[in-house]
Amino acid sequence: MSVGAWLLVAAALAESPKVVLLTIEPGEDFVSKAGHATLCIDTVDDKNHGTCYNFGSTKTSDELALTLNYLRGTATFWVSTPSYNSVLKGHGLKYDRTIWRQDLALPEEDAWNLVEALRTAALPENKFYRYDHFNDNCTSRLRDAIDRATNGALSRGSEGPYTESWRSVARHRLAGLPWFLVGAELAGRPADGVPTVWQAMVLPEVLRAEVAKRLGAPARRVHIRGGYALGVGNTRGGALWIIGGGALFGWATAMAGRWRPRAGRLVGGTTAVLLGIAGIGCTALFFVSTLAEVRHNEMHAVFFAPDLLIPLLTPAWRRGYLTTRIAGLIGVMLLAGIGVFTQPTWPALAVLLALLGLVVTEWTPPRSAP
């Protein structure tokens, strides 16, 4: 090959965009527990080392509003274009999260196709989208873009099952956050589904592993978290809180009823009101939320809004209602035992324990007059 030809090849290689996948491990706050990923494109050797395409931008100042919008299916995310250095400084130095880097050795045409797809996605008329954690998130959009640019390198042969269910994934993500673990236990039947490897690539660490295996792009850490290790703790903490709460209310109601019937009725009434509020919340979420894991939920057979009326029933009606409720909860656990119901049975057991306290109080004989 002549010198001129070599120079032409060198010039073409110099102009070929450098494609970098950054996967960012979970942070300390709830919003960052799922981890993050972004694609960076370096077409010139500038001081910021290229532009990144971040599909995970949203307003995070009000976590409650963000959660409610997510449940309603109206959480809006968009594509932002920070520099490579700002991503390292923001996620790595400011929030102390471990960052992995993978250089994708794509053919020049594939690299430019990927650049064009990312630039198009970041246009004002295209950049906004409705976020869905398990189906359409900041990582799944990168997965799809890389897959299209590589003629199906990620999707090809990825139909097999992943190693965990969605519920198990959530438990590991939320370890150490008891109230959010409770939410993971209360999620509906779809949460027990096992995703394919392709579907699991919505998780940054799975995308990183598959890109390394399928595209020959080894991952190296460009920032290592300096604080305590994250993601450790009891992943079944939500079940323990649910069972412990039911047992506590049941025990308190029963003990108060035996000690003094009037106090038992007061504690029992409080227990019934809390169970009724849980039932109202469960029903309200069914009508408000568009998420399958909220709507298709066996917890509708566990939490009943009419529990709120237990203190107002006559003794005969109250005993009949409690008997029916307990029989129903036992039925739920039996159905789970034979595989008809697939969700965890801890909530049914917790409500059963709470209602048993009401039963003990109801059947406690009145003290004889002195």
pLDDT (tens digit per residue) in 99-129: 999 999 999 999 999 999 999 999 999 999 9
Can you list the alpha helix ranges (DSSP code H) found in 58-195? Answer: 63-72, 84-87, 108-121, 138-149, 166-173, 178-186
Taking only the tens place, the pLDDT of each residue in 283-305 is: 998 898 888 888 899 999 999 99
Cα–Cα dist 12/9, whole Å: 5
pLDDT for the residue 3? 37
Say how far apart CA 23 and CA 292 lie, in whole Å: 28
Domain range annotation of the chain: 3-154+201-223, 237-362
User: Could you tell me what percent of the chain has a pLDDT over 90?
Assistant: 60
- Cα 334 from Cα 340, distance rounded (Å): 9
pTM for this entry: 0.86
Residue ranges of the chain with per-residue pLDDT less than 50: 1-14, 368-370
* CA dist., res. 105 & res. 216, Å (int): 8
User: Over the stretch 186-235, which tens digit does the pLDDT of each residue have?
Assistant: 999 999 999 999 999 999 999 999 999 999 999 999 988 887 666 556 67
What integer pLDDT is reported at residue 46 of this predicted model? 52
Burial 100-111 (b: 16+ CB within 10 A, else e): bbbebebeeebb
Q: Which residues are bridge partners to 83 per DSSP?
A: 51
Q: Match domain 3-154+201-223 to its CATH number in 1.25.40, 3.30.450, 3.90.1720, 1.20.1070.
A: 3.90.1720
Query: CA 174 to CA 234: how far, in whole Å?
Result: 9
Token representation of residue 159: 């139909």
Instruction: Give DSSP secondary structure letters for 52-96.
Output: EEEEEE---S-HHHHHHHHHHT--EEEEE--BHHHHIIIIIIIT-
